[in-house]
Amino acid sequence: MKRLFLPVLAAIVLAGCNQTSQPAEQPAATTTDQTALDTAAADGTATAPAAKEAPQLKTAPGPEAVTASLRFKPVAGALRTEAFLKLAGKETKEINLGTFPGKPDVVDAAKAERAGYPQGWIVGFRSYEPGSGTGADVAVLPGDDLSHLRIMQRRIDESASEPFTFQIARELSLAGPSKLTPAK
């Protein structure tokens, strides 16, 4: 009995909540509207009742345009460089990416393709120290949704038998849905 009672009750509640009406069920003009039309027709000044204004639908804002760029600052007394990711949109924010060997080289599309950067990267750089044959590749990509950002990194080591693969170093949340593009 309990098994049958709940589904039947749910169907009754849902049927009662159905507020849409079929065109045949829509009410005719109200009596005050009809009386106003009859009076206006007798005077010879027949006009239709004022149409109700349609409600304005609010559209959801699209993703915010955010530009991404890189900034580097030499570390005093060392052959290292501190890297920063600058995000500029409604708000400007700078994220410290860490310290890297040598002077980083910003990659363009051709360099990124030769170096095997991940698809969809926005900005990236390569840091390399020739004396040790080591360094790092860094790529910034949009996350799985429009409100996250991925910073991917891989090691460079000339003595390694196989090249290293990019790994997620960090994932950052953005203020809201954002469309990331490189700064020009």
In the chain, where are the structural domains located?
64-182
Going by C-alpha positions, the residue among 173, 118, 127 that lies closest to residue 148 is 173
Q: Which residue has the higher pLDDT, 55 or 98?
A: 98
Contact 141, 174 (CB under 8 A): no
Half-sphere exposure of 166 (CA within 13 A, CB side): 21
- Residue 88 pLDDT greater than 60, yes or no: yes
pLDDT, average across residues 18-29: 50
If one counts every other C-beta atom within 10 angstroms of the C-beta of residue 178, the result is 22
CA 132 vs. chain centroid, Å, equals: 40
Q: Which two tokens stand for residue 32?
A: 């005050």
Residue range 104-149, pLDDT digits in tens: 999 999 999 999 999 999 999 999 988 888 999 999 999 888 899 9
- Residue 19 pLDDT greater than 90, yes or no: no
Going by C-alpha positions, the residue among 65, 58, 89, 60 that lies closest to residue 146 is 65
Residue range 25-71, pLDDT digits in tens: 455 555 555 555 555 555 555 555 555 665 665 566 678 899 999 99
pTM: 0.65
Q: Which two tokens stand for residue 97?
A: 């990416």
